[in-house]
Structure 1
């Protein structure tokens, strides 16, 4: 059982990394393997709506990006982390997620997902909702904690001083571990439901 964490910060060892690592360390103690992928400092163009995605991949992905995407597809869970810019996620993170999720075409269905946002002061909730929207439209199983997964810090490492935020993330990790294990234990007992046929309709025809 494995969780892939995606760091959407351009700072490889900034507060977003530290927040993700708190969750990953707790998952490790629960017997869940983890890996943090660094995408926030990559040069990733946004989706151009060309509709030429193929087999779960954007046609413009390079080998490094494809390797990351393969790791996500193979994992049981996905953990997203982003700093907060103007009450939203980082631009590079959005480019990455737009292309990943649009091309995935069902490959993310029923994976376990959780997200974290890291503001200095405020704006965390709109960014948190933005990340969760990728999960919800993809039929993923979204895990929560006993508070929203927003942890605060300015200088790198300051999130570790947010005692309540740390407790929220550690509790999130335990819930995430439980859902992944429960899914694994019941996969032969309770098969996943077949997807209901989808109807398409434009608002203006």
Structure 2
């Protein structure tokens, strides 16, 4: 399992690439323990896992410019997101992973969602038809609410989420304690296996036909969107 903010190497021919976006600031927290299990599961599915620890990027909340809803080009702020988005676009599957903080996602994850979505992905939905999954860990509260927050953003980016039963939410407080959540770990196992199998089908179709099985008519919400956007208010 690679902990890096640089492109991964060593992916063998025919192997799937999973990219996990870790929103937790803790280098050895329960998210990491859960993702180690994900790596083990993926090994049996001929897939490799790379983790990006969002905390290591130069992310900051959107500023006061206020033109995000009216821009026709991606944000020019240099915060390390553009290379990461390119890697997300190259992966076969993505896992959004966060711990619960203050009844919601760990702070880095919402910042990443805002900066990547508003600043970049709305102009070119490069994650369309990627296979997506969500993983949430926490002590006891707000797992499902946090899961739904991430899931809605995965769906906003037109990714494909395979149903696997109950959400992949893991209960645990101390480091590694989530591994004792048998039902949660089983849901995680089912999610990862179904993600890998679906990603394999989609990749094989592209290799056989040279086309995306679920081609999308619209690539972005700006200059190619059929619905006119309102003009910005005058000062």
Q: CA deviation at 1:101?
A: 2.4
Distance 1:168 1:66, change over 3 A: same
Question: 1:116 corresponds to which residue?
Answer: 135
- Alpha-carbon distance between aligned partners in 1 of 2:150 and 2:110, rounded to the nearest angstrom: 9
Q: CA deviation at 1:195?
A: 1.6
Question: 2:197 corresponds to which residue?
Answer: 178
Question: 2:97 corresponds to which residue?
Answer: 81
Unaligned runs of 5+ in 2: 1-15, 219-224
Partner of residue 125 from structure 1, selected from 138, 144, 154? 144
> Helix, strand or coil for the counterpart of 1:44?
coil
Question: Structure 2 length normalisation: TM-score?
Answer: 0.77
Unaligned runs of 5+ in 1: none
1:136-169 Cα deviation digits (max 9, x unpaired) = 1111101332211100110111111111111111
Matches within 5 A, 1:157-168: 157-168=176-187
Question: 1:99 corresponds to which residue?
Answer: 115
Distance 1:127 1:200, change over 3 A: farther
Question: 2:22 corresponds to which residue?
Answer: 7
Asked whether the equivalents of residues 127 and 159 of structure 2 are also in contact (C-alpha less than 8 Å), the reply is: yes
- Alpha-carbon distance between aligned partners in 2 of 1:41 and 1:161, rounded to the nearest angstrom: 28
Q: CA deviation at 1:41?
A: 5.5
Q: CA deviation at 1:69?
A: 2.6
- Alpha-carbon distance between aligned partners in 1 of 2:72 and 2:55, rounded to the nearest angstrom: 22
Cα root mean square deviation, aligned: 2.3
Question: 1:44 corresponds to which residue?
Answer: 59
Q: CA deviation at 1:111?
A: 0.8
1:153-188 Cα deviation digits (max 9, x unpaired) = 101111111111111111111100111011112222
Asked whether the equivalents of residues 152 and 165 of structure 1 are also in contact (C-alpha less than 8 Å), the reply is: yes
Asked whether the equivalents of residues 41 and 92 of structure 1 are also in contact (C-alpha less than 8 Å), the reply is: no
Question: 1:61 corresponds to which residue?
Answer: 78
- Alpha-carbon distance between aligned partners in 2 of 1:13 and 1:190, rounded to the nearest angstrom: 38
- Alpha-carbon distance between aligned partners in 1 of 2:103 and 2:72, rounded to the nearest angstrom: 30
The structure 1 segments of at least 4 consecutive aligned residues displaced by more than 4 Å after TM superposition are none
Partner of residue 195 from structure 1, selected from 213, 217, 221? 217
- Alpha-carbon distance between aligned partners in 2 of 1:58 and 1:19, rounded to the nearest angstrom: 33
- Alpha-carbon distance between aligned partners in 2 of 1:46 and 1:12, rounded to the nearest angstrom: 22
Q: CA deviation at 1:92?
A: 1.1
Q: Which moved more, 1:187-196 or 1:99-108?
A: 187-196
